[in-house]
A and B are shown apart, each in its own frame.
Chain A
């Protein structure tokens, strides 16, 4: 990673750009998005979005390299010093999330071209890419900002654009799914600003680092307690933490395939990051952390979510919906790691952010390709798909194995890390829970595998028909990453450990 940073420094334009990279990360896609309206053309706006997302990806890689070699990056917007001005702070934790978001965005775009042309009416395609870039801007903004209110603004940018993206789905159910997400998402975001307002009342600051130092002095007040509750519930809604997950399955199931790939791999991940940041960096130093029993709450909700999501997934007949419920279950693992509140547990959470983004991206891409070719992703219609689309099905199988947590896939690395973290802390029953819920994952993955490989294709189906190469290649790239980072888990685990340490800095005295 630091090699990328050094390479960047050797470029001729580096000295001019280098100090402004944190701002450029957000500003480039923000300013690039409206250009789509001027282009109006489906192909041109796709190409434009492709260029912009790959530039963003490059910026994110350089930023990660820089934080790993030089540490915390602080960028003052408009040279106004914090806490008066808005500050962007990039440490190992958000640099990782930046890379996840931009990498998935960059890999999804080549895939999106064919898929979107099939699923979105042509005159609206340029709007699709406009919203896609705005959504990415919002997610990147949430990740870079160190200002609690600024986070809300970016949260709404990403949410509003994702409501539009979801509503572009073909079925009319996409409209109601988007509407319900809008109601829930707005409630969540509003809860979050109520919490921020209460923190501001007590401290007079919105800067996260500043809040972290000011809050412990007033943490006995009911206002701060209420603020904590509002923030956790508000962000919990965006995370799709177990009882607050009801918007997620339909939103993912009825959105256009490319949108599902992008949102499933990034949106909940960024929300998890925001929750980690608020809970550990902002409230980490307060006594609330101990008195409210937030750890235990997160652990219980995480475990219930793990089981409930996987259990419901088994009974789904629509594969997209099945994978959406599987996401609820996988979010449970991340919440669980967060609840352990140990450096190892949080590292497990963060490594699962990356790993789940990769493997769920693969799974939804494969399902999207099946939808592209046979026009349905109902289990009944997928009979014999293993013979009709061997590559796509094989790719799906890789991600399915990873969802279960088979060794040599990324899913194994994160589950291993979580199990080790649980055992280290002496919670053997949590470790047992992680293993048991993996068994449920076997059940739902098996249902697809059984239909795909053991059933004969319907009569009259025409031999082998794969999705176009533009969809296959991104899929294979991500599937390769699933295996690569499953074999070489050290790279990602190292970075995740850095990230966990950065997040846990203000947690008083470290936790057992």
Chain B
């Protein structure tokens, strides 16, 4: 019996975080982190499972965005406002992760741009952007 309960524990934890999220702002919840994990694994899966080179780049993007979200979530302070230097603002979110993620977003854009540029060149050279077809051509070249 305990085994069944344990098996459903993650699902229950998810439900609890959902409840906490619905409880309104100010209550600490884990829903955000669940979204991060789901997005991260979705992106990772797309990168691994898809043969289309553009889709791989999109998957990589989803994967990176989940990390951005992860940083933004950890910066949140319950009941805190945006980190602005002004009168009356005493409780505010940690601005450092926001700044870090600005940098990471720039890196992500650069990676995407370079990746897509490579895909264009690959399409010109191989006439396809399907990884399995490219690999078949390359194996032929090797033998």
Q: A167-B118, A172-B126 are in contact. Are A201 and B74 (CB under 8 A)?
A: yes
CB distance from A356 to the nearest CB of B (A): 27
Which of A64-72, A183-191, A211-219, A499-507 lies at the interface?
A: A183-191
A173 touches B138 (CB 8 A): yes
Q: Is A410 on the interface with B (CB-CB < 8 A)?
A: no
A176 touches B97 (CB 8 A): no
Q: Tell me the bound Cα distance from A200 to B70 in angstroms.
A: 12
Report chain A residues within 8 Å CB of B47.
183, 187
CB distance from A6 to the nearest CB of B (A): 39
Question: Which residue on chain A has the smallest CB distance to residue B126?
Answer: A172
B118 touches A197 (CB 8 A): no
Q: A178-B118, A182-B115 are in contact. Are A190 and B74 (CB under 8 A)?
A: no
Interface string of B14-57 (1 = CB under 8 A from A): 00000000000000000000000000100010010000010010
Q: Is A103 on the interface with B (CB-CB < 8 A)?
A: no
- Contact with B118, one of A163, A189, A201 (Cβ below 8 angstroms): A163
Interface size class of B (residues with CB under 8 A): 20 to 34
Q: Tell me the bound Cα distance from A18 to B92 in angstroms.
A: 41
Q: A167-B121, A175-B122, A176-B134 are in contact. Are A182 and B67 (CB under 8 A)?
A: no
Q: Is B1 on the interface with A (CB-CB < 8 A)?
A: no
Q: Is A153 on the interface with B (CB-CB < 8 A)?
A: yes
CB distance from A168 to the nearest CB of B (A): 11
Q: Is A160 on the interface with B (CB-CB < 8 A)?
A: yes
Q: Tell me the bound Cα distance from A167 to B100 in angstroms.
A: 29
> Chain A's interface: helix, strand, loop or mixed, by majority?
helix
B53 touches A187 (CB 8 A): no
Interface string of A188-199 (1 = CB under 8 A from B): 011001100100
CB distance from B124 to the nearest CB of A (A): 9
Report chain A residues within 8 Å CB of B121.
167, 175
Interface string of A150-170 (1 = CB under 8 A from B): 001100100010011001000
Report chain A residues within 8 Å CB of B56.
183
Interface string of B75-114 (1 = CB under 8 A from A): 0000000000000000000000100100110010011001
A175 touches B67 (CB 8 A): no
Q: Tell me the bound Cα distance from A175 to B137 in angstroms.
A: 14
- Contact with B67, one of A160, A178, A190 (Cβ below 8 angstroms): A190
Q: Tell me the bound Cα distance from A149 to B44 in angstroms.
A: 22
Interface size class of A (residues with CB under 8 A): 20 to 34
Q: Tell me the bound Cα distance from A332 to B60 in angstroms.
A: 28
Report chain B residues within 8 Å CB of A164.
114
A194 touches B74 (CB 8 A): no
Q: Is A289 on the interface with B (CB-CB < 8 A)?
A: no
B111 touches A160 (CB 8 A): yes
A179 touches B119 (CB 8 A): yes
Question: Which residue on chain B has the smallest CB distance to residue A153?
Answer: B103
CB distance from A381 to the nearest CB of B (A): 16
A179 touches B70 (CB 8 A): no
B111 touches A186 (CB 8 A): yes
Kindly identify, within residues 126 to 141 of chain B, every residue whose CB is under 8 Å from any CB belonging to chain A: 126, 134, 138, 141
Q: Tell me the bound Cα distance from A200 to B47 in angstroms.
A: 27
A197 touches B71 (CB 8 A): yes
Report chain A residues within 8 Å CB of B122.
172, 175-176, 179
Q: Tell me the bound Cα distance from A167 to B114 in angstroms.
A: 11
CB distance from A387 to the nearest CB of B (A): 29
Q: A164-B114, A176-B138 are in contact. Are A186 and B60 (CB under 8 A)?
A: yes
B114 touches A182 (CB 8 A): yes
B74 touches A182 (CB 8 A): no
Choose among A160, A187, A193 the residue with the greatest number of B CB atoms under 10 Å from its CB.
A193
B134 touches A187 (CB 8 A): no
B71 touches A190 (CB 8 A): no
CB distance from B59 to the nearest CB of A (A): 9
CB distance from B62 to the nearest CB of A (A): 11
Q: A182-B115, A200-B97 are in contact. Are A194 and B107 (CB under 8 A)?
A: no
Report chain B residues within 8 Å CB of A187.
44, 47, 60, 63
Report chain B residues within 8 Å CB of A149.
100, 103
Q: Is B7 on the interface with A (CB-CB < 8 A)?
A: no
Q: Is B5 on the interface with A (CB-CB < 8 A)?
A: no
CB distance from B50 to the nearest CB of A (A): 11
CB distance from A181 to the nearest CB of B (A): 10
Report chain B residues within 8 Å CB of A182.
111, 114-115, 118
Report chain A residues within 8 Å CB of B115.
179, 182-183, 186
B107 touches A156 (CB 8 A): yes
Q: Tell me the bound Cα distance from A110 to B107 in angstroms.
A: 31
Report chain A residues within 8 Å CB of B64.
186, 190
Q: A156-B111, A160-B114 are in contact. Are A193 and B74 (CB under 8 A)?
A: no
A197 touches B74 (CB 8 A): yes
B114 touches A197 (CB 8 A): no
Q: Tell me the bound Cα distance from A160 to B118 in angstroms.
A: 12
Q: Is B125 on the interface with A (CB-CB < 8 A)?
A: yes
Report chain B residues within 8 Å CB of A176.
122, 126, 134, 138
Q: Tell me the bound Cα distance from A190 to B121 in angstroms.
A: 25
Q: Tell me the bound Cα distance from A424 to B118 in angstroms.
A: 49
Chain A: residues with CB nearer than 8 A to chain B? Answer: 149, 152-153, 156, 160, 163-164, 167, 172-173, 175-176, 178-179, 182-183, 186-187, 189-190, 193-194, 197, 200-201
Closest 4 CB pairs of A and B: A172-B125, A156-B107, A179-B118, A175-B122
**9 residue pairs bridging A and B, Cβ less than 8 Å apart:** A149-B103, A153-B103, A156-B110, A183-B47, A186-B60, A187-B60, A190-B67, A197-B71, A200-B97
Chain B: residues with CB nearer than 8 A to chain A? Answer: 40, 44, 47, 53, 56, 60, 63-64, 67, 70-71, 74, 97, 100, 103-104, 107, 110-111, 114-115, 118-119, 121-122, 125-126, 134, 138, 141
Q: A149-B103, A179-B115, A193-B104 are in contact. List 8 more A-B contacts (CB 8 A).
A: A182-B114, A182-B115, A182-B118, A183-B47, A187-B60, A194-B67, A197-B71, A200-B97
